Structure 1
Amino acid sequence: MQHPGPPRFCAVGERIELAPRSPDPDASYEWSLLEKPAESTLSAPDSPVLEIEPDAPGIYRFALESPAGTHEQRVRVFPDVRRPTSFDLERDELPEHDPEDVSIMGPFNEHRFGREYPTLEDGTYRYEIDRQPGTHRYGYVPGEDFESAVWEEVTVPGPGRPRVRLDGAVDEEDAAVVVTADATPGTDSEYDAADLAVEFYADDRDSLSDADLEIDEHVVRVPLADLEEAVRVHAVAVGERHSVADCVVVHPDGRVERPNDPPEWARDAIVYEIFVRSFTDPASFQALERRVPYLESLGIDCLWLTPVLESPTEHGYHTTDYFDTASDLGTREEFESFVDRCHEAGIKVVFDLVINHTAREHAAFDMSAAQVPAYDDWYIWEPLEEAAVEADDLEGGRDVYAPPSRITADGQTEVADYYFNWHGIPNVNYDSLAVRSFFGSVVDEWVDVVDGFRCDVAWGVPHGFWKEINERVRAQDDEFLLLDETIPRDPAYAECEFNVHYDTTLYYALRDVGNGERPAKAILEAATAPDREGFPEWSLHMRYVENHDETRYLTECGEDAQRAAVAAVLTLPGVPMVYYGQERGATEYRQLMPWEGDSRATTFHRRLVAARRDSAALSRGDLASIESEADSERVVAFARETEDERVAVALNFGEEPAQVELDCTLEPTDLVTGDDLEAESGEGSTTLAVEDVVVARIA
């Protein structure tokens, strides 16, 4: 399986990584560049893992010499769409600081502060960079005080990314599979759907070549006569920009599979996140197993556990042993017993996969710090003069607040790479074949035990490795779930990588609405953001009001806003997530589960979950607009609809009940409470009294 994988797609100015799959760390791999655009000056680096930045649009064709033979991989590069962008911040918005020691961070530098520095002009910090159209989040950090960072957003004007979806069916008369591309223009595009180009590509791993594809604009025919094994067909829609690529697998018997589609069970899933060492006291797998009936009573069907592997920390994200469960939680057998009990209750279990970094206490880090040859390149080490720390900040030893360092044979100091201020979890190096092999084996170890991975710091791991992991888990279980923590979210992770994505856009909108900084209708703009952001149709988005990294919504925004926010998550499209304790009135983000807590809030959550379960429109229906008038901007209304059912939802984030007039007639029962609506119906309209949420079928 050492072929580097499917064709890759990017734009000029984007970096892309190519690497052998399931590599032998002791083997030899050599890349060569067989074809490139005439104006390109790119060459193939002399390393088994390529990190390239194409400098001209067109086709690049690479060859990889490996122990398993020679493999080819193509990279299709589209024109540069970046525009000059200024990331600004008024000096007065930062707390007292030294203006000579202010840095900027964001996705553009992988959230590393102390690397890029702005200019200060007339009281405004300014950092200029080329960015693609869309909304970009960035933070200014005074000195090393990450906790005092001030975050802002800037929107770069321009068209959004188009989208494409492939579907196929057998044409019996022609003995071929007809694959049709449904292409959709991006937001603010000048293209109509029919005007978008669609480029089709055969997969370089298969016997099928581009010449075998019979292409007619948005349709391609795949003859079955000489097809002895399954083949893959990829497609990209192209307007001003290019889409996330889609793929279908065509089998010799005419069957067509869509590898990008999420597991069927995930489309209706309601997730419950448990911070493992705070849900029971004491924390153990056996104690968790005893609480499964409680999870059943909530109506959830997917459980996300924070890390359960060996770690010196309470939260578990500093992993020291990837092949055994944490000794304080219990044995692997006890963990598997808990998973089996969840399965008996109809609950899937998602496992927190932490492979961007390890604990600095991990044995491999000790070996790398000691420059043992087999481990020397397991982590990213930078010369001190290039790192974002001063020599005085390096204390060595095990001080978690000091960046780890090592002294090389020639007496030079090197500092381990890390994100944010996470000194205790050094980033592993995916340029290392040994690292790629190791974490591939970690995935293999657990894929048969759980039903999915929530992938921590997914944005820190190369796309090529996630594509490999996606195929790896699907080969063993095509209903396995992959959920990415990518903040802010990025549609590129939907391309044969992840099924479900953190919905950071809705999260921030719900916070702003709850704090009174934006009107309630902002949640509708956020809920439809995936289309504008270029996410493909098959993407699912996990929607939440809080998680283990965030302050509690109740604490920040109050009870009234929280009830409306929870109702939004459980009535909007997507995959709703409830964070443990949210339903019991918890006020601290990792506190012990308040079992004696707010039973009224628990009943509210149960009723919302039940309403979603009982309504096809709420669980799988499309989001639709509904004309409404309210006496407060703290109120918003929308509809969910299928062919057979339409449901109206009205939310009130305010402290006082509100009156809302909808341009439709409602059935008399509130689907959440089961009570009669407080409503007056007119000709084609209904006036409601809304305390927090009203959900009713449209007559």
Structure 2
Amino acid sequence: MAREDTDRIESGDGSHHPGPPRFVTVGEGLINPNGDEMETRDELAPWNLDRNPDGEFVWNVADAPEESTATPTDAPIAEFVPDVPGEYTLVLEAPDGEHELTVRAFPQQADKSGQPRPQVRLEATVDTDRDSDPNRNPNRIQFAATTKLAGSDATADDETQTDLTVEYYIDDRSALELDDRNGIRTAELVEQELEYPVRVYAVAVTDDGRYSIPDAVELDSEPGADGVQLERPFEPPSWVEDAVVYEIFTRRFPDQDDPTFETIADRVDHLADLGVDVLWLTPMLETDRGFGTPDSQGGPHGYHTDDYLQVDPDLGTLADFEALVDACHDHDIRVVFDLVINHTGDTHPFYEAAVDDSHPEHERYRDWYRWEDFEERDADTYFGWDGIPNLDHSNPAVRAYLLEVIDFWAPLVDGFRTDVAWGVPLGFWTEVSDRLRRYDAEFFLLDETIPSDVEMGGGRFHMHHDDVLHDTLESVAAAAVSADGAGGTGRNEEGWRREAEAEAENSDTDTENAVADTFSDMSVDASDGASAILDAVDERARRGTHPDSEWLLYVENHDTDRFLTEHGRDAQQAAAAATFTLPGSPMLYYGQETGLTERREPMNWGAFDAALLEYYHQLCDLRQSVPALQRAAALERVSYEASTKYAVAYARDASTADRAVQSDQTDAEDGPERVLIVLNFSPEPTTVRVNERVSGPDLLSGAQVVSQSDGDESDWERTVTVDSAVVLESEGSATE
């Protein structure tokens, strides 16, 4: 894939307009302070700063609720904290004119913890009631929204719901307005010969002011055209919806005698044979944490960037990287680039200039970073990681440069996974998402936030790391192993966390200690056993995730210890089956399928655990061939009785799904539309009694694991024997 010259990529309509309406909470607003390591940042910023980073930008309040005295800070990239609920109109004075921005501030909540958040789905329909001539074009577009409280199955439209209302907004870049029935006449769109699509937003609001992630519909019309195109701008690319993702630790995956892009390309057959759809490469840019980095500093990981526009020469050239991407594409595998723009390495030339008073570029770059104390050269960092100083995204020059970085890599890959996404302001991600979508509607964005942040959905990222499910799988497995007294390391949950803390005290905390283990424990209460994994899935909705948000499901990654080592083979297989059978996109970390036991050790080419590899082959095959395991299938809780609380049963059902929203994988058409999944995290086999009319062999192993239940069959229809995981075709509940 040769890099071609492309037109300049631009955000929005190409102007400095600051983007779509903003929805915030009184007293919290749009702020981007130092510290707050686990908090999401935000701020007001002109778009397309790569065109004019040195321009003069001034923010003012043009309209505000009565009694408000809130004003933006005096900076091109400003902070703004509304002090009264209501709607504010801000004006950005920019070199290309004045731009208005709506900021809707909702009341501050006394206690938001545990409160379900509203969700909204906006629909646009063509109103033909008043047009009796079928040869004429429809003359009106009607907008309506369905709403619900997160986690509830009940929905209602905004006219009948008593405790939820819907507010509608049109992007401030448009001169159009919604009529009193929340519609737009088609003629208005056509007459204006739009140069930029019109976007309409809906936000659901509770009586006490809790509000949803906004949903949107985009309208476009070509000059002279009679019709209007409707699009859903927040939907993920179709190729991602049922994808199997594979993360490689770039410098440990290839042939260790010659670890290069070329030898990674030589190993792509392994991924294709496994059934991988997306390859996520950990950083491969120029870095001081490449080959030769000791294990005490995390091994050769590359997250300390020294040059954003150069690949690590030890891995090869840019042309070699492009050849690797081509090899993946030849196997129908997409490539995701690990974008690290929250921080640089402390050996980056920009940082070296910033800390050196005698450097000719010192004055320019000292303001590119955040400082706890500049005189002491004490940079703002996360978690005491002194080697990765945080960039200051409130500096227009930083944003301009990062947009150039994004523009450089976007034509070369299929998507970005963004490291420490929570450290970069939300408004910047909104611009990046808009920019990339307008460049390539199929470009994919995956965020890392700890804890996972639903604000990253709805016009920012398509997919989020599901750290809640990951930590719950860890908690369930640790408790199961501890209760049994066998398997894995024999440590209970407190034991392995205490060991992680001890490692941190006696090693370079820069990278040795896993982020997920030390800084985050997002698991739901696992005291009731394996059913907690279903609670973890419910937790996504309770927090108000956007309806189009996808979730990356994983049992381990480059920041965690190996599940196999910590909890044993049976628990690892049960956890893996959970990631392949619950709603979301399963991810494998290199070597998970071949028996690796250390977090970042070289891939064990030529020494695979053949039985384990076959198990993962079966998981991938099932995921891609069974409609009931894909995105459109519903997750159902079922009644069951188990001999251990570390077993759980649930169903996936695609029988009522709209097949049009499923992926176009033709081999999935003939598979079962309902399956029962039974998982067992304990090291010993167990039996589970269910009311499902299951039959046939286990779709994973081919073994016969089902028998008639003894006792009262009206209570329990079948008994299932499970080692770690079984997937069974089901005709539905026996009590229906």
Match of 1:466 in 2: 429
For 2:316 and 2:123, locate their aligned partners in 1 and report how far apart those are by CA, in whole Å: 46
Contact 1:177 1:250 in 2 (8 A): no
Match of 2:232 in 1: 258
For 1:316 and 1:632, locate their aligned partners in 2 and report how far apart those are by CA, in whole Å: 43
- Residue number among 397, 419, 427 corresponding to 2:382 in the alignment: 419
Q: Identify which range, 344-353 or 278-287, moves more after superposition.
A: 278-287
Q: How many residues align?
A: 594
1:661 Cα deviation (Å)? Answer: 1.0
1:669 Cα deviation (Å)? Answer: 2.5
- Residue number among 152, 161, 183 corresponding to 1:221 in the alignment: 183
Change (3 A) 1:191 1:80: farther
Q: Identify which range, 279-288 or 434-443, moves more after superposition.
A: 279-288
Alignment map for 1:72-471 (pairs within 5 Å)? 72-83=100-111, 132-134=112-114, 159-172=115-128, 173=131, 175-186=139-150, 194-195=161-162, 196-208=164-176, 212-216=177-181, 220-227=182-189, 228-229=193-194, 230-239=197-206, 240=208, 241-252=210-221, 253-280=227-254, 281=256, 282-313=258-289, 314-370=300-356, 372-383=362-373, 407=375, 413-471=376-434
Alignment map for 1:674-689 (pairs within 5 Å)? 674-680=702-708, 685-689=717-721
Task: Give 3-state SS (helix, strand or coil) of 1:447's partner.
Answer: helix
For 2:237 and 2:156, locate their aligned partners in 1 and report how far apart those are by CA, in whole Å: 31
Amino acid at match of 2:650: F
Match of 1:654 in 2: 682
Q: CA RMSD in A?
A: 1.8
For 2:247 and 2:696, locate their aligned partners in 1 and report how far apart those are by CA, in whole Å: 35
Contact 2:148 2:154 in 1 (8 A): no
Match of 2:61 in 1: 33
Contact 1:169 1:255 in 2 (8 A): no
Match of 1:691 in 2: 723
Amino acid at match of 1:10: V
1:177 Cα deviation (Å)? Answer: 1.4
Deviations 1:5-44 (A, max 9, x none): 0000011122311100111122111111111222222122
Task: Give 3-state SS (helix, strand or coil) of 1:269's partner.
Answer: coil
For 2:88 and 2:113, locate their aligned partners in 1 and report how far apart those are by CA, in whole Å: 25
Amino acid at match of 1:500: M
Match of 1:480 in 2: 443
Amino acid at match of 1:440: L
Match of 1:6 in 2: 20
For 1:165 and 1:305, locate their aligned partners in 2 and report how far apart those are by CA, in whole Å: 34
Match of 1:607 in 2: 618
Contact 1:647 1:696 in 2 (8 A): yes
Flag structure 1 segments of 5+ consecutive residues without an equivalent: 84-131, 135-158, 384-405, 408-412
Contact 2:120 2:204 in 1 (8 A): yes
- Residue number among 525, 550, 563 corresponding to 2:573 in the alignment: 563
1:235 Cα deviation (Å)? Answer: 1.1
Deviations 1:665-685 (A, max 9, x none): 113122112343343365682
Deviations 1:390-426 (A, max 9, x none): xxxxxxxxxxxxxxxx54xxxxx34211110210010
Match of 1:397 in 2: none
Q: Identify which range, 352-361 or 588-597, moves more after superposition.
A: 588-597
Deviations 1:314-366 (A, max 9, x none): 10100111112111111010101110110110101110000000011111112
Contact 2:260 2:314 in 1 (8 A): yes
- Residue number among 524, 527, 534 corresponding to 2:544 in the alignment: 534
1:657 Cα deviation (Å)? Answer: 1.0
Flag structure 2 segments of 5+ consecutive residues without an equivalent: 1-14, 31-42, 132-137, 222-226, 290-299, 480-492, 494-525, 657-672, 732-736
Deviations 1:438-462 (A, max 9, x none): 0001000011111110000000000
Match status 1:508 vs 2:482 = no
Identity of paired residues, percent?
Answer: 44
Alignment map for 1:623-642 (pairs within 5 Å)? 623-642=635-654
Deviations 1:171-209 (A, max 9, x none): 24361112221111235999976121100011011222x
1:62 Cα deviation (Å)? Answer: 0.9
Task: Give 3-state SS (helix, strand or coil) of 2:551's partner.
Answer: strand
Deviations 1:509-528 (A, max 9, x none): 00010011630111110122
For 2:620 and 2:600, locate their aligned partners in 1 and report how far apart those are by CA, in whole Å: 23
Contact 1:657 1:692 in 2 (8 A): yes
TM normalised by structure 2 equals 0.79
1:646 Cα deviation (Å)? Answer: 0.9
Task: Give 3-state SS (helix, strand or coil) of 1:167's partner.
Answer: strand
Change (3 A) 1:189 1:545: closer
For 2:630 and 2:155, locate their aligned partners in 1 and report how far apart those are by CA, in whole Å: 33
Contact 1:176 1:254 in 2 (8 A): no
For 1:358 and 1:630, locate their aligned partners in 2 and report how far apart those are by CA, in whole Å: 51
Contact 1:170 1:254 in 2 (8 A): no
Contact 1:10 1:78 in 2 (8 A): yes
Change (3 A) 1:190 1:543: closer
Deviations 1:241-295 (A, max 9, x none): 0000111101232221111111111111110000001112132100000001100
Match of 2:93 in 1: 65
Match of 1:18 in 2: 44
For 1:558 and 1:676, locate their aligned partners in 2 and report how far apart those are by CA, in whole Å: 24
Contact 2:151 2:538 in 1 (8 A): no
Higher relative contact order (CA 8 A, sep 6+): 2
Contact 1:581 1:594 in 2 (8 A): yes
For 2:438 and 2:546, locate their aligned partners in 1 and report how far apart those are by CA, in whole Å: 23
1:694 Cα deviation (Å)? Answer: 0.9
